[in-house]
Amino acid sequence: MNELIDILEELKPGINYETTENLIDGRYLDSLTILSLISEIEDEFDVEIPAVEIIPNNFNSAEKIYNLIQKLKNE
């Protein structure tokens, strides 16, 4: 989880990723940031995020993003 928080803070500093649960709905992350985030996650965690998983619900909080990563690692 710490690696994910580091990636998020590098891409978009100034957000409390530990508590924010509306990263997409609250427009904290825009589409370009999300594309960069996906690329960073795929490199860092050695997973591939399929297009069907790129939905707001999977990216609204650091916890949800981390859960997605764990799910993909277990597949």
What is the residue range of 38's domain? 2-74
The pLDDT value recorded for residue 23 is 98
Walk along the chain (75 residues) and give the pLDDT tens digit of each residue: 999 999 999 999 999 999 999 999 999 999 999 999 999 999 999 999 999 999 999 999 999 999 999 999 999
Q: Which of 51, 55, 62 is nearest to 22 (CA)?
A: 62
Give me the CATH number covering residue 53. Answer: 1.10.1200.10
- Where helices occur in 1-75 by DSSP H, the ranges are 2-11, 31-45, 56-59, 62-74
The pLDDT value recorded for residue 11 is 98
Q: Are 21 and 57 in contact (CB under 8 A)?
A: no
As a whole number of angstroms, the distance between CA 17 and CA 71 comes to 20
Whole-model pTM: value is 0.95
Number of structural domains found in the chain: 1
The pLDDT value recorded for residue 16 is 97
